[in-house]
Structure 1
């Protein structure tokens, strides 16, 4: 319902068609043969990615961690992958760059760095992925998708992606695509003071600084960041009349942002008390689509979240925890020339989201082979549309759940090689808006098992039922072009995954790998379908089937570090509509590969990265397939001699300046250029140069 996300509707629009008119040209499906060839190339790249080298110094002097590709932490949450700013194999200029290389994680951008971006996990839409910061939900009924472009970074920022299944302790197991859990600053990796600054193409400037320390019983972790960019770049566009190409300048795409985060915790003999404060503000231009550019439309957003947690030990084998939190978000959309809303030129649309919640839980070991976690939580949420014609909506929700891990003793296999897991929740909600109430009781959960044959081979399988409740705009519409339905059923899915992962280590080589296959059958997917001209109505659709495999590999030696992540996905509409059944769901690439390698020569580290995406459709009919694209990146980092902790880096993204792809059109006898994009009509920039300088001082160094 927020003005910041009108283009999110294109992810769920169900428009049955055999072709689409764009810029006056009728586009048709390209031959699948190039897609098959790209697929064979990507699979082959996995087999060729492993190489080794011995001797010399450790590869990374400051970035000592490794990309986790195996199940870590609470195994009741299923497969999870961790990434952090410190361990990122590519320049961590924004959150999207840190997350984009993870298995089954696909980031879609509307433009250059800092522009609107969405996150998809295992083919799920962005509204089906939950986002939490230190247990505080950043997504809600009023704003179900997180804008990755607005998510700031700070020194040591760390993320954990739960793919498909998440622990009940996070507050829900009902997201169809999984959960992104953002970890607050912590001294777990040691006390330090650090800063990072960068200057890049398109007028980009970035700065972040942080301090993590412990003074007696008090732990203080804080970070600040600021960024700005003009984001003006050129791209080629086909003329709708002559079909000749012309160069167009992308304007009104700049942004400026600032943020801060702090966590203070005090330890006592019985436990601890902590406080988390997070806030950010952002102002950005809304450039519009390629064929309908704007010059003055803009959006201003702000967000504040505060959480207070108390942890108390309950004997030697357990601890109780309580978390209370509040969150406030506001946005102001300005369109002085009526470029995006011609019916209301000069209008200022101000909206606000207010939410508060409480969570109480206990985790411990009631018996030697059993680990049990219990949780109960409740929250209230309000959407305030300001003076607009949209509907003010309220939600009261709560739930109870448990996470269980059972490790039985097996005489022939000492050391608890078998783990049986279970996670379940029962959630209830009550919505009210304009005397159109909506209520629901939703059970969800999953079961799992993991068998450790050795550290090099751990087998795991999870299966369960997932749900997502409809959001306010889907239930009640916006009193404009979108019409809601208070009787919408929640999105439901049955999902299963199975795989193997392991770690192999020698004095000169460390190898970690993970291979997982997954399948999801979704029902009652919510989409906005056409209802007359320029009007859409929220409806429950039939079925969708997601089948796929994800593979990750990390290899490091004393000089070399190389990693690869590949996702193969088949996302099909399996409903009853004859125009769309069996077709690929839009925005989900069939092949997605990320490869990174770094090699050290003394104080110098050289980097190479590759991103390849193929088989992405843009319409519900599956008739428009974006041409495959392969982007290259290179970089060099120097640990400055005689200045401990100081590193200078130079990186180039999109090395070969790919800005245009060529697609065949039925109305021309030759291929017509199409701007490189994730969302059709919103071009991406070409080559980008980043110069960075960072310094980190760790306690005791």
Structure 2
């Protein structure tokens, strides 16, 4: 919500501590823990050797504990990774835990489980990643970044991350880095009942219930989730004068949330008609930075989305689809003591986002070798601030797009080649207090995929991406942020190329994906200083993102193991001599995730590792977070004599890492920093979770 201010400043996301003038901004931290990377290599190699030498008589690992991640190189949508709650390699405590291990997906948290979190894909800022739920956009001009920490989960829910490029059929929400598509429980899934509950450290309790039933032509899939936590955890903060550690406790960081989702689908023979209803209520404490904690500041959120869709068959291999949706989000910000804003004690701000849209599309095969999809969509959006410090704004947007896939048939070779193209034209008109702003925005990409063998599939994509400015960038907030209605959209030229495949015999399978990508962005929107404590939005920056993604998954009789690694070089190439050539803040140069699960009879043992290094937190590149390595372990038991019941225990941050010691250019002694993604917002130490799950699938 805009009430929290624009923390996505120059080229994306500036650390809140830096935005507030942290006294660390002139310090360049040097990594002093390089030995940890050699430990990572030993652990990975050892786990792979275990999988290769697996006992031939071992039992297979069930899907509930599998490490399956579906990777699709569909050229019409670019490279895509899919993860599900049911098949998460780690305990699916929240959406961030399910997504964090995917290649080129980086989650930054402001605290413990349930706290505010941002999502970055291929180095793009969170405001440059589009998010959809069953085709309904959850990101908008008024709220361009989705809080991943507040996103609820349901049994059977799945996530599809389009890295870089996405199909035109997803709609008018602009993006530069990718799209997260959230799929609710499918009506096509087997009838089943699922119940999952967890209790964890820092007063955390979670509950998820899911149900899928069929009665004649009617299918109902529903999910309910609830959670709460106090998130009062200890941490240490160095005294600014002596450097001695001061033990503190994080306070006012708890949350309470309840959400529900239901989808009803009716098969009518000629097609189907369905409806989706989603609601979410959340109360979140706003703890503030570690140096200036709060006691009572909070944010209350409500979110409702309703969609109705119909699918009609228009031929043996074609169908038309229509979708109509509405969405409303409301927030109430309370700062009764002026702890976050001393100039406005007793602040009580209410805001609302109201949006509605429709989409009409068709997909079919005009020729045996040609698949075509066309779509026309539009939406209306209104931001109602309910406060004098904000500006009421409206947006009307619409667009049309086409996705095409051509698979020529080659003599004696079949159809190993797929040539694809995606194109969209979008238009928008914004208005706030008589200041109109309009735009016509073309975008699209082309691609090709060549299947040499199942073990070697080549794919390449290239195209142009755009993101329209949001309301706060166009019109400001009547406070410290001043907008510019003449802002140009953010634009980027991007390409990627990679190789993927699968090899193996029997129950031993090895799948892999290796991709390189490059993005050159221009007209990036930045809030630049304009006098004292005032910022103005301008088009002035350029940036270049170069990187590589690697995903390797090994499946044996008892073992499932996967490695995801992202190498990223994100540079500011703008005109400012103080920042040009510097790393873009918030993007780690190295991001590695490793997971393994090993079955011994009814017991499944789990291990995971996360390693992050090379993250700067200011646009000048003067503050670099020390590298960190976090370990996690877990064990799950299929309870004897109770079919479908599984009990498990998981430990995150096994070695209770809470403080990182690093050298400083201004002092000869090591400086202690709290473990964090943002300076000033510490992450918790060791956390223990106990879960109990029951799932019953009915025979068809």
Q: Same fold (TM over 0.5)?
A: yes
Q: How does 1:100-111 map to 2 (within 5 A)?
A: 100-111=100-111
Residue of structure 2 equivalent to 1:210: 210
Q: How does 1:355-434 map to 2 (within 5 A)?
A: 355-414=355-414, 416-434=415-433
Distance in 1, Cα, partners of 2:507 & 2:370: 37
Residue of structure 2 equivalent to 1:532: 531
Residue of structure 2 equivalent to 1:115: 115
Cα gap change, 1:609 to 1:432, in 2 (>3 Å): same
Cα gap change, 1:651 to 1:547, in 2 (>3 Å): same
Which segment drifts farther, 333-342 or 187-196? 187-196
Cα gap change, 1:110 to 1:25, in 2 (>3 Å): closer
Residue of structure 1 equivalent to 2:608: 609
Q: How does 1:249-648 map to 2 (within 5 A)?
A: 249-414=249-414, 416-648=415-647
Distance in 2, Cα, partners of 1:521 & 1:471: 21
**Displacement of 1:62:** 4.9
Where 1:97 maps in the other structure, the secondary structure is helix
- When normalised by structure 1's length, the TM-score is 0.96
Q: 8 Å contact 2:171–2:377 — kept in the other structure?
A: yes
Cα gap change, 1:39 to 1:634, in 2 (>3 Å): closer
Distance in 2, Cα, partners of 1:388 & 1:49: 59
Q: 8 Å contact 2:12–2:127 — kept in the other structure?
A: no
Q: 8 Å contact 2:129–2:180 — kept in the other structure?
A: yes
Q: 8 Å contact 1:69–1:553 — kept in the other structure?
A: no
Residue of structure 1 equivalent to 2:48: 50
Where 1:525 maps in the other structure, the secondary structure is strand
**Displacement of 1:2:** 2.2
Distance in 2, Cα, partners of 1:407 & 1:553: 28
Cα gap change, 1:551 to 1:172, in 2 (>3 Å): farther
Which segment drifts farther, 660-669 or 186-195? 660-669
Structure 2: where are the runs of 5+ without partners?
A: none
> Within the alignment, does 1:67 sit opposite 2:65 as a pair?
no
Cα gap change, 1:231 to 1:56, in 2 (>3 Å): farther
**Displacement of 1:540:** 1.2
Q: 8 Å contact 1:92–1:98 — kept in the other structure?
A: yes
Where 2:692 maps in the other structure, the secondary structure is strand
Which segment drifts farther, 383-392 or 63-72? 63-72
Residue of structure 1 equivalent to 2:126: 126
Cα gap change, 1:308 to 1:688, in 2 (>3 Å): same
Aligned pairs, how many? 696
Distance in 2, Cα, partners of 1:14 & 1:230: 27
Distance in 2, Cα, partners of 1:692 & 1:196: 7
**Displacement of 1:200:** 0.1
Residue of structure 2 equivalent to 1:138: 138
Distance in 2, Cα, partners of 1:643 & 1:43: 40
Where 1:475 maps in the other structure, the secondary structure is helix
- When normalised by structure 2's length, the TM-score is 0.96
Q: 8 Å contact 1:95–1:151 — kept in the other structure?
A: yes
Distance in 1, Cα, partners of 2:94 & 2:334: 26
**Displacement of 1:49:** 5.2
Residue of structure 1 equivalent to 2:95: 95
**Displacement of 1:532:** 1.7
Distance in 2, Cα, partners of 1:289 & 1:498: 41
Distance in 2, Cα, partners of 1:227 & 1:660: 28
**Displacement of 1:593:** 0.2
Where 2:149 maps in the other structure, the secondary structure is helix
**Displacement of 1:577:** 1.5
Q: How does 1:131-210 map to 2 (within 5 A)?
A: 131-172=131-172, 174-210=174-210
**Displacement of 1:653:** 0.2
Deviations 1:25-68 (A, max 9, x none): 56522346867x77777678766653321334544335276533
Where 1:77 maps in the other structure, the secondary structure is coil
Q: 8 Å contact 1:259–1:279 — kept in the other structure?
A: yes
Cα gap change, 1:6 to 1:115, in 2 (>3 Å): farther
**Displacement of 1:527:** 1.4
Distance in 1, Cα, partners of 2:401 & 2:146: 25
Cα gap change, 1:121 to 1:548, in 2 (>3 Å): same
Distance in 2, Cα, partners of 1:49 & 1:521: 38
Deviations 1:134-191 (A, max 9, x none): 0000000000000011100010110000000000000148411100000021143422
Distance in 1, Cα, partners of 2:654 & 2:65: 27
Distance in 1, Cα, partners of 2:88 & 2:533: 43
**Displacement of 1:662:** 1.5
Distance in 2, Cα, partners of 1:641 & 1:501: 40
Distance in 2, Cα, partners of 1:48 & 1:573: 39
Distance in 1, Cα, partners of 2:309 & 2:163: 26
> Within the alignment, does 1:236 sit opposite 2:241 as a pair?
no
Where 2:301 maps in the other structure, the secondary structure is strand
Where 2:156 maps in the other structure, the secondary structure is coil
**Displacement of 1:598:** 0.7
Deviations 1:384-410 (A, max 9, x none): 001332110000000000000000001
Q: 8 Å contact 1:20–1:28 — kept in the other structure?
A: no
Cα gap change, 1:385 to 1:583, in 2 (>3 Å): same
Q: 8 Å contact 2:418–2:449 — kept in the other structure?
A: yes
Distance in 1, Cα, partners of 2:611 & 2:381: 40
Deviations 1:535-557 (A, max 9, x none): 11111123100000000011111
**Displacement of 1:375:** 0.1
